Amino acid sequence: MSRKTKPGRTDKRRLKQEARDRQRDLDVIQDTAACFTCPSEVVHDFLYQCTDRMEGVEIDLDFNRIAHEIWRDRPGVGQLIGEALTGFIEERERHLRALAELRKRFAAIEAQGPGHDHLEPIETYRELVRARIFPDVRPPV
Number of domains in the chain: 2
Answer whether residue 2 is part of any domain.
Answer: no
**Of the candidates 40, 33, 65, the residue with the CA atom closest to the CA atom of residue 131:** 33
The string of pLDDT tens digits covering residues 49-65 is: 999 999 999 999 999 99
Q: Do 99 and 60 fall into the same domain?
A: yes
Parent domain of 86: 46-115
Q: Do 84 and 102 fall into the same domain?
A: yes
The model's pTM: 0.78
- Average pLDDT value over all residues in the chain: 92
Answer whether residue 7 is part of any domain.
Answer: no
Using 50 as the pLDDT threshold, list the residues of the chain that sit under it.
none
